[in-house]
Amino acid sequence: KKQYRIAVIPGDGIGKEVMPEGQRVLEAAAKKHGVSLQFDHFDFSSWDYYEKHGQMMPDDWKEKIGKHDAIYFGAVGWPAKIPDHVSLWGSLIKFRREFDQYVNLRPVRLMPGVPSPLANRKPGDIDFWVVRENTEGEYSSVGGRMFPDTDREFVTQQTVMTRIGVDRILKFAFELAQSRPKKHLTSATKSNGISITMPYWDERVEAMAKKFPGVKWDKYHIDILTANFVLHPDWFDVVVGSNLFGDILSDLGPACTGTIGIAPSGNINPEGDFPSVFEPVHGSAPDIAGRGIANPIGMIWSGAMMLEHLGEKEAGKSIVDAIERTLAERTLRTKDLGGNADTTACGKAVAEMV
């Protein structure tokens, strides 16, 4: 019987409310598929921890969670209490950089029973992945300000693309495309306007494409690509983009399918040198925290992605199937989707469907 050690970090706000449901469903799937999961809980990466200790995480956070098979993460951030750059850069973005989680992966899928803002689309029509570079690009730490408070004042920030950084994310994306029936990759660019880094990105895509002759690929400038997410979401299979472009596309995609509140994500270190983080796309949602009404599906779906990443494909799939069946039933959904179940009732419903 395979055993995995999972670091559990509920974090802030509704992260703490949806986490127990995520674990409940993971346990049901593990039981069914003969997998053993050991959950170790950590209270850091949260406002509560910061209030007590003056920092988001203990100094030895890497020793504490660096040997786990994966990190199951709720949500972090509470802008009214702590600035984003302290909470996010002190935890989530630290994980991405220091655990070299260079892939950010999110599904875009039209699910049954989820109200979509797009007209005339049916479940099955839209089903693709956004692969985002997660460590470099536009999110760099290089830049600064000169001549403050004068008319000459200017601020710069560099976008940085390394050969290693670009090639490895493209390789991951092409491999993913190759593993899918459509074998189709779309690259997000803006080489007609951003004239130095983006032509380099295009150049590396072309070079990588040569190694994957079975994959059909195309590219769109980010402006028209966002338009096509709305106009032709059925065109896509695997979409790869830089840190910023991937960030945009992986919020816009779920919005187009109405799933932004329930979408999952993985921050993945494919080599397994470090643990990967799986977290719902939604944040800590201070406005509804503490009321027990948060939708646990994003957390649960992230658990499915985690199992797939660990190699437990069957167990992961059984969770995704259970989510689809739960969503299709009106009463077992939470309020945000027009149902009347609370967080726990929805989590239990999915667990029973597994």
Ligand X SMILES: CC(C)[C@H](C(=O)O)[C@@H](O)C(=O)O
Of 83 and 193, the one with the shorter C-beta distance to ligand X is 193
Of 193 and 290, the one with the shorter C-beta distance to its own copies is 193
Does 145 bind its own copies (CB under 8 A)? Our answer is yes
Q: Which helix (DSSP H) or strand (DSSP E) does residue 305 occupy?
A: helix 297-309
Alpha carbon distance 74, 278 (integer Å): 8
Total Cβ atoms within 10 A of residue 169: 29
Structure tokens at 342: 């609370």
Structure tokens at 11: 């974090």
Binding segment toward its own copies, per CB under 8 A, in 21-29, 252-260, 287-295, 329-337: 252-260
Residues engaged in binding ligand X (CB under 6 A): 88, 192-193, 223, 247
Dihedral sign (CA 102, 80, 253, 320): positive
Does 161 bind its own copies (CB under 8 A)? Our answer is yes
Of 91 and 318, the one with the shorter C-beta distance to ligand X is 91
109 binds, among its own copies, ligand X, none (CB under 5 to 8 A by kind): none
Task: Pick one of 74, 254, 264, 296: the residue that binds its own copies (CB under 8 A).
Answer: 254
Of 51 and 200, the one with the shorter C-beta distance to its own copies is 200
Task: Pick one of 1, 122, 156, 287: the residue that binds its own copies (CB under 8 A).
Answer: 156
Give me the least distance between CB of 280 and its own copies, in Å please.
14
Give me the least distance between CB of 138 and its own copies, in Å please.
6
Does 234 bind its own copies (CB under 8 A)? Our answer is no
Of 73 and 217, the one with the shorter C-beta distance to ligand X is 73
Task: Pick one of 36, 154, 290, 311: the residue that binds its own copies (CB under 8 A).
Answer: 154
Residues 129, 353, 106: CA angle, nearest 5 degrees: 15
Alpha carbon distance 210, 218 (integer Å): 13
Task: Pick one of 230, 291, 311, 321: the residue that binds its own copies (CB under 8 A).
Answer: 230
Give the C-alpha distances (Å, rounded to integers) separating 52 from 24, 55, 209, 345: 29, 8, 51, 33
Alpha carbon distance 57, 150 (integer Å): 39
Does 159 bind its own copies (CB under 8 A)? Our answer is yes
228 binds, among its own copies, ligand X, none (CB under 5 to 8 A by kind): its own copies
Distance, first Cα to last Cα, the chain: 19
Residues 14, 15, 16: CA angle, nearest 5 degrees: 85
Q: 8 to 37, contacts with its own copies by CB under 8 A?
A: none
Residue 281 has phi, psi (to 5 degrees) of -70, -35
Alpha carbon distance 198, 217 (integer Å): 17
Binding segment toward its own copies, per CB under 8 A, in 134-142, 174-182, 319-327, 328-336: 134-142
User: In this structure, what DSSP letter does residue 335 have?
Assistant: G
158 binds, among ligand X, its own copies, none (CB under 5 to 8 A by kind): its own copies
Of 69 and 279, the one with the shorter C-beta distance to ligand X is 279
Asked if residue 226 lies in contact with residue 248, where contact means CB atoms within 8 angstroms, the answer is: yes
80 binds, among its own copies, ligand X, none (CB under 5 to 8 A by kind): none
153 binds, among its own copies, ligand X, none (CB under 5 to 8 A by kind): its own copies
Mind spelling out the 3-state secondary structure of 223-283? HHHHHHHHHCHHHCCEEEECHHHHHHHHHHHHHHCCCCCCCEEEEECCCCCCCEEEEECCC
Does 86 bind its own copies (CB under 8 A)? Our answer is no
Chain contacts with its own copies (rule: CB under 8 A):
84-85, 88-89, 93, 116-120, 138-139, 141-145, 150-164, 190-197, 199-200, 222-224, 226-228, 230-231, 243-244, 247-248, 250-252, 254-256, 260
